[in-house]
Structure 1
């Protein structure tokens, strides 16, 4: 969740948010966010809260790695993104009666379909779903990170970010914004706000104001509908 939400929740309830990560195939735990003594001694204030936003450290007996599109390992530098792969005693190794699921595994590792980073301290951060990450000019842009930062702007009530086809860059970020009551939103405002965490080439060229974000029946942002509705926005070929 955004840092502003974590702070607000703590102030409102006095409760602490503890991040964890897992899936049905991992039954269910992969990581839990807990502070290493060395990290707690080194960080304080918002830096500790920022670390708490990550999904955390691998559980005992669980191994986590990141791989690129060629299946090669990605460095644990907290910046380089790759698909999260997991193995361990209770991690799924095959799917029952599914002969077409071989691409979900890599040399004994279960491929999660999630994209993330791992920092030098070993903390995993989930940055996107592989199907939702924005691939622009050979680089990856996290739609989740951009959404979280956008929703921390006081003029933005909700935001959704998808990658739309672009004739030159393969994909470019496209933003839907629900303004906060009584607020107006400009592209310049969004750029200024996003520039604290995103390079200039990662910033969206445009955005659209809407009254509500398309959602699925379970309340998740329906990025498939967004991509379909605004498919030709940048003049790229539809998938």
Structure 2
């Protein structure tokens, strides 16, 4: 019977984008709602600001993720092109280079050469991409996946404080949005930690702290401008 472990590293690409999107959706929208509400505006104006923030934020997240991950993908492709050319022009030297890498990892010189020969006979570019450059199928950049994941989760995250603001009585809007947003952030941190196999309490506390800080600052700014107005 073959022993296998259930690793979670293959989830890091989409999980990072999804968590960042949902976290930004909750934090930015709740902070915007609290800032506008603290400036003594009507509930209609608060909802309008929140919806505008949702749309702008989702598009910004999608564009930002696509551009940044595309830059990573471009760099990876450029490195692969360099490696293709090196393999075409200096195959033996590339084989020696790969064998040297395996020697530094603990293989005997003769075994390292045999491993390099066999791996390159099967997939020379794949072997060098993985062991020389550090590019694997799990780590390779996927711009569209990151963009869609971030936009979708930002929208879901932003809808949560918006629904609370729509449901809450005007007199209780600020405390209820703040309370529920912190609970949503704690739940997000716990889910992300559970999926990624990380400590749940630490992840929940981390997102709650930064979310509370953002909401407190924007509320203070909204209150100051509300008093000035």
TM-score band, normalised by the shorter chain?
A: under 0.3
Q: Which TM-score applies when normalising by structure 2?
A: 0.24
Structure number with greater CO (CA < 8 Å, separation at least 6) is 2
Structure (1 or 2) with the greater strand fraction: 1
Q: Which TM-score applies when normalising by structure 1?
A: 0.23
Structure (1 or 2) with the greater helix fraction: 2
